[in-house]
Chain A
């Protein structure tokens, strides 16, 4: 099929946006590469500590007036942003595909879910309301108001370059805070596009800032005394060793979302035909690069005929996934983001084989890539059998298009396997039995639970939950919990003498 037009043209440099001005970074300028062609499509600066400091100062200066702007007025900026995002829906989706490699359906899905967060934040006059109780004692009333805190840092990952910062930013600014967003330097153009639209929406200078970069920017955010809190989505080691302790040392609020190694449980009574597309999306969608992707499939029961038939169908479907450039509308799986990530995935497959797993489908080399593209970042879907619960390919995050299959005798055993995982982000079960579904929901430790859903992605009005190795903090991004995170509860007690 013909390719949809690429929106990023002419190797642009992604600039920082500080205090309402677009400024080129003074730091090292690095290439941004399209993982499909492995050609440079743009450049981005690795900003310095002075630049993050400058952005925080601008945000701090803007906070005074912004918090005094009535919530209903703040929302109108978000309504305008929402309209602009709709008008630019296709372009922002194609930017994601071009810089990240995901398929166009996946990018449009990401765009939609990002916009939904802006829409939910538009309800801030209601969401931000406090509580009041008359006569807590005779003649004394007590009420709670929610106040913004100041400047928040938002650190985004590479795998959802458009959507994930929108789990936080709309709620932060709607509640009267100001933000500094740091996108992943691998994929800086999606956030650059959103920031252009935020500028067009008319946010006052300093309310919405963006600084590109890497560790220096993250370190600068963590150390900065004027940043009141940070939301982070990325790897578990960075979450545990850098973000959470860094926030603790400086007394910042923190939402830290890390990695995952999700387990999908298949009961023999599941609707097989309806389950398989869900598994394809779960394990191989976004080339497996998402914290809600399935990594291990646990098939319950000792019915060999069911097991063999189910695995054969899954394998057949996975073998025929169309691989190529996501701007070709027929493509079902794009490349992984870069060579290092591909090598890491290949390494995990080797580890699995050394530990006793066997290849049912070998995707270490993509069978066929649609279009004339180098194999550099492409992988096929890999399925491994004879996997056991103690293997590293079950217990560690692979973040690639792989499926390891375990057999469990009972649902109890399957739940045990889920619960002994170091990660608890999005485990799921496929079954037509309500009792089994309820037991799974009740007993399985997981921030998000799927019942016949392979990607357990909460809608914008629910928190994006997560537990144990997948999350550190108390409140979560999205919805009412985000509103709580971005506001301080102030309690007033009145007595008129």
Chain B
């Protein structure tokens, strides 16, 4: 689906983050030695959702182009979280990196498209991108 409005795009991103958070919670159960890492990732995802929602509600105005802020194809960013029972920690981390890549692509293009329209929203997208660097390093170390 082609995402155009701020509302539908942020709902979509919220779903991505939540789906990824559940994936990390699942990994925390399956790999107790790395439980802290995965639970921290899940917590961060939900924090990002709140942060972006707050930014949106603070900046949205009847005078800006909220209904025309984005042009994203949702299919490009959706992902599956299924992991075979036999998957190793390295497999799980590789899968997590693939998921992260999808989410990061969505934020990157979303920030680019809405840059001049929604002010704080793309700025928060960029903040989330930056904050995820450490997570990526950690996942790469596990993969």
Contacts and interface: CB of A to CB of B under 8 A. Distances in A.
Interface of A: 1, 89, 103-106, 108-110, 112-113, 160, 163, 274, 277-278, 280-281, 285-286, 290, 292, 317, 322, 329-333, 453-457
B7 A104 contact: yes
Contacts of A278: 65
B4 A105 contact: no
Nearest to A103: B67
Given A112-B61, A112-B62, A331-B5, 18 more contacts: A89-B57, A103-B7, A104-B7, A105-B60, A105-B66, A106-B62, A108-B66, A109-B62, A109-B64, A109-B66, A112-B57, A112-B58, A277-B68, A277-B117, A281-B67, A281-B68, A285-B62, A330-B1
Contacts of B56: 108
A43 B100 CA distance: 50
30 contacts: A1-B8, A89-B57, A103-B7, A105-B6, A106-B62, A108-B7, A108-B60, A108-B66, A109-B63, A112-B58, A112-B59, A112-B61, A112-B62, A277-B68, A277-B69, A280-B65, A281-B63, A281-B66, A286-B62, A317-B68, A322-B4, A329-B5, A329-B8, A329-B11, A330-B1, A332-B5, A332-B67, A333-B67, A457-B62, A457-B63
B68 A330 contact: no
Contacts, number: 85
Contacts of A105: 5-7, 60, 66-67
A453 B63 contact: yes
Interface in B115-130: 116-117
Interface residues on B, range: 20 to 34
Interface hub of B6, B7, B8, B56 (most chain A Cβ within 10 A): B7
A46 to B, nearest CB: 28
Interface hub of B1, B65, B116 (most chain A Cβ within 10 A): B65
A292 B8 CA distance: 25
- Would you list the 8 A-B pairs with minimal beta carbon distance, nearest first? A105-B66, A109-B62, A457-B63, A329-B8, A277-B68, A455-B63, A329-B7, A277-B65
Interface in B1-25: 1, 3-8, 11
B117 to A, nearest CB: 7
A332 B62 contact: no
A281 B56 CA distance: 18
A280 B68 contact: yes
Interface string B63-101: 111111100000000000000000000000000000000
B8 to A, nearest CB: 4
Contact of B66 (A106, A160, A292): A106
Nearest to A278: B65
